[in-house]
Homo-oligomer: A and B are copies of this chain.
């Protein structure tokens, strides 16, 4: 990674390595790339998810799992199809996710008495407690970091723009 020769810049004509006096290899130029929305968006998203995982590492929650717990808390009495589709998760892929949360006693499936095909989702007491702790960690460590980097006003503007893109693009 550090031995490449900058085009036409090396002192020796056919030399594979730099002399001690040579300049370090130049960093690659991103060029246009850094102006493309998709590129910066993807990179920012990866960083934010990394940071989220670190912030709630003590609770072993992924962003997706956190979203499920939040949505179930906010919408008690809904079934798997409703919760999954709201999060953009396909029903088949939601099964293993719920198996995980249920095996950790964070969430429970309850057969609906109205429609015995469906499973009503609820948070367990442990699930509520974990979610409360997770919210505190996310607010104090994760979202607070965003305020440090951007400032509160910019933070709100960013969220608004991203929501607009998610809804209107």
A residues whose Cβ falls under 8 Å from a Cβ of B: 1, 3-7, 14-16, 28-49, 51-52, 63, 67, 70-71, 73-79, 81-83, 85-86, 88, 113-115, 118, 135, 138, 142-143, 145-146, 149-150, 154-155, 157-159, 161-166, 168-169
Given A42-B45, A83-B28, A158-B161, A115-B16 contact (CB < 8 Å): yes
What CA separation (Å) do A45 and B158 show in the bound complex?
Answer: 13
Q: Is the CB of A14 within 8 A of B114?
A: yes
User: What number of copies of this chain does the assembly contain?
Assistant: 2
Given A16-B114, A47-B169, A40-B163 contact (CB < 8 Å): yes
Q: How far is the CB of A19 from chain B (nearest CB, A)?
A: 14
Q: Which of B77, B85, B88, B150 contacts A161 (CB 8 A)?
A: B150
| A16 proximity list for chain B (CB < 8 A) | 114-115
Given A15-B114, A37-B146, A150-B164, A79-B169 contact (CB < 8 Å): no
Q: Is the CB of B143 within 8 A of A37?
A: yes
Q: Is the CB of B166 within 8 A of A4?
A: no
Known pairs A38-B49, A40-B163, A158-B158; list 15 more (Cβ under 8 Å).
A7-B77, A14-B113, A29-B74, A30-B86, A31-B70, A36-B67, A37-B146, A38-B52, A39-B63, A40-B162, A41-B41, A42-B45, A43-B166, A44-B162, A158-B161
